[in-house]
């Protein structure tokens, strides 16, 4: 297995990238996955998901607590040999490509169905993927620095959006929680947890970070669900029952909001989304390349990033035009793949390591 010199970032930078990655999911919540549920019940869903997310990070945390210097691909090479490493690396690479494809597909659907820009959505998406490939080829240090600046811009833009929506909140829109039963609550939990791909991304990123992993996970998880709760409060309070009819409800709420004489607040929303997609796809293309360093020479990373980006772009265009989108990107499918890459494989590697260490100790004692 190739051993390339690693570049390192801080835990704060790592979880800034992961926060932005999850932000993209939250602000692009689509009404087509709501299934006529009461989004206000998602407040309870966010509390439950907050706890579940902590539980889901335990296998990854335990694995890296044993050996912080190796990612999952390198761990699998040591624990399972070359064959096992190839299988696990391919699983993670395919999952990362799938998540990138999903992210871009949602963007294409949004631009095509809501914005109707003067230039084709396909061209916009192609440009975005091309920029993401460039970001991925620059490595984790460059992407982390860019993410820090982007996060600052997102926070400032988010403050303007929150202020603009506060004036349109109506307390009558906040109906009693669980008024129609538990279905909406569990639907929200399923949506939030199934889209938690950031945990799987940790498998290829934690080994490149320095600092307290435990503190980073706590701050990251807490900030994510505070953000989700705030988005739910703003969407429900400003749209009420109208929320159920909108394909992208947060955008609808932002598009009619204003601050004094300042209009076109939706431009800030689009800016946040576009910057978030850039960070997310760049990050996932980068770690897809890291999964397969055994097969690709380091000098060809730029061309390899274009190859992965091209696959993401072609798949996104195809999925956005077919019914297969609803199957591959269903909450159940995403949940099973997330559990495989976030919980099952890290747990397997952790216990194989424990078994091997115990076997070595027994031999020494004999």
pLDDT computed for residue 201 by the predictor = 94
Interval 189-226: pLDDT, tens: 999 999 999 999 999 999 999 999 999 999 999 999 99
Cβ–Cβ under 8 Å, residues 265 and 161: yes
Average pLDDT, the chain: 84
Strand partners of residue 66: none
CA distance 296 to 273: 32
Neighbouring CB atoms inside 10 A of 142's CB total: 16
Task: Name the packing angle between helices 42-56 and 183-194 (round to 10°).
Answer: 40
Cβ–Cβ under 8 Å, residues 216 and 11: yes
* Cα angle for residues 82, 85, 86 (degrees, 5° grid): 85
- Scan for tokens 């620059």, then name that residue: 138
Give mean pLDDT, residues 45-60.
Answer: 95
Residue 41 exposed, middle or buried by CB count within 10 Å (0-12, 13-18, 19+): buried
Task: Name the packing angle between helices 58-66 and 42-56 (round to 10°).
Answer: 20
CA distance 119 to 217: 41
Interval 229-281: pLDDT, tens: 998 898 888 887 777 777 778 887 787 766 655 566 777 788 888 899 999 99
Strand partners of residue 210: 10
Give mean pLDDT, residues 334-347.
Answer: 94
CA distance 204 to 223: 22
Give mean pLDDT, residues 33-55.
Answer: 84
Residue 320 exposed, middle or buried by CB count within 10 Å (0-12, 13-18, 19+): buried
Closest CA relative to residue 200, chosen from 69, 72, 294: 72
**What is the value of pTM for the model shown?**
0.90
Instruction: Tell me the C-alpha to C-alpha distance, in Å, between residue 92 and each of 41, 76, 290, 340.
Output: 33, 12, 10, 9
Give mean pLDDT, residues 294-313.
Answer: 77
* Paired tokens of 111: 């631009």
Instruction: Tell me the C-alpha to C-alpha distance, in Å, between residue 167 and each of 163, 170, 253, 256, 270.
Output: 7, 9, 12, 11, 21
Residue 33: pLDDT over 80: no
pLDDT computed for residue 91 by the predictor = 94
CA distance 39 to 56: 24
Residue 259 in 3-state DSSP?
strand
Distance of CA 212 to the CA centre of its chain: 21
Cβ–Cβ under 8 Å, residues 169 and 234: yes
Task: Name the packing angle between helices 72-110 and 331-339 (round to 10°).
Answer: 160
Cβ–Cβ under 8 Å, residues 97 and 288: yes
pLDDT computed for residue 362 by the predictor = 46
């Amino acid at each position: 297995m190739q051993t390339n010199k690693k570049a390192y970032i801080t835990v704060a930078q790592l979880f800034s990238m992961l926060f932005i990655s999850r932000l993209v999911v939250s602000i692009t919540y689509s009404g087509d996955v709501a299934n006529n549920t009461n989004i206000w019940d998602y407040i309870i869903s966010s509390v439950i998901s907050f706890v579940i997310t902590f539980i889901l990070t335990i296998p990854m945390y335990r694995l890296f607590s044993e050996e912080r210097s190796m990612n999952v691909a390198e761990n699998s090479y040591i624990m399972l040999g070359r064959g096992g490493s190839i299988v696990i690396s391919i699983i993670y690479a395919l999952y990362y490509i799938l998540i990138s494809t999903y992210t871009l597909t949602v963007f294409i659907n949004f631009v095509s169905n809501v914005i109707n820009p003067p230039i084709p959505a396909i061209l916009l998406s192609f440009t975005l993927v091309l920029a993401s490939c460039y970001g991925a080829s620059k490595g984790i240090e460059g992407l982390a620095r860019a993410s820090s600046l982007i996060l600052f811009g997102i926070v400032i833009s988010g403050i303007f959006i929150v202020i603009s929506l506060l004036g349109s909140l109506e307390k009558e829109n906040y109906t009693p929680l669980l008024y129609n039963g538990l279905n909406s609550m569990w639907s929200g939990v399923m949506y939030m947890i199934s889209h938690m791909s950031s945990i799987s991304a940790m498998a290829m990123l934690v080994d490149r970070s320095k600092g307290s992993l435990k503190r980073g996970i706590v701050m990251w998880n807490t900030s994510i669900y505070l953000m989700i709760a705030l988005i739910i409060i703003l969407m429900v309070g400003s749209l009420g029952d109208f929320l159920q009819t909108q394909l992208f409800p947060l955008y609808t709420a932002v598009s009619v909001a204003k601050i004094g004489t300042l209009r076109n607040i939706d431009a800030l929303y689009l800016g946040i989304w576009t910057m978030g997609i850039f960070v997310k796809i760049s990050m996932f293309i980068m770690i897809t390349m890291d999964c397969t360093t055994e097969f690709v020479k380091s000098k060809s990373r730029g061309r390899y990033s274009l190859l992965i980006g091209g696959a993401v772009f072609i798949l996104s265009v195809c999925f956005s035009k077919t019914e297969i989108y609803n199957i591959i990107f269903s909450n159940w499918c995403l949940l099973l793949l997330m559990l495989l890459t976030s919980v099952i494989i890290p747990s397997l590697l952790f216990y194989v390591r424990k078994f091997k260490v115990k076997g070595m100790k027994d031999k020494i004692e004999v």
